[in-house]
Amino acid sequence: MTQALGRPVSYRPIGLDEFTKELRNRGLGEYTVQHLRAVASDYVNGVFAGTNDVVKTVGGEEPQTVQEFVTRNRKYYDDRSTIDFWSSAADRPRSTRV
């Protein structure tokens, strides 16, 4: 990330409760908070350990590296006002149209 953004990026591990609090403080909806907390929990528990070919098989392309992802999505790292990136439609009231 440091190389892709051209500025220092550091990592400080935090617990799931602090992570959840920070997500809420940033204005994310409950559905998104719950989802990201579950992903973080799975990561901590090793669910994503190892490798497979699912991205290539399902998507037809090689997976991106972290550097490629950050480079392609740099605006979300440069501009804190882009919190809408995380505002999921699932967090918005659903239409009751039938």
pLDDT at 21: 95
- Series of mean pLDDT values for 10-residue runs along the chain (98 residues): 92 94 91 96 91 92 93 82 55 51
Predicted pLDDT at 98 = 44
pTM: 0.63
Separation in Å, CA 90 to CA 20, 33, 38, 63: 18, 11, 16, 26
pLDDT at 80: 59
Output the CA–CA distances (angstroms, integers) from residue 33 to 16, 21, 57, 88, in the order listed: 11, 9, 29, 10
Predicted local distance difference test score (pLDDT) of residue 22: 92
Cβ neighbours for 3, distance < 8 A, ≥ 6 positions apart? 67
What pLDDT score was predicted for residue 51?
Answer: 85
- The pLDDT of residue 85 is 55
CA atoms of 15 and 91, how far apart (whole Å):
24
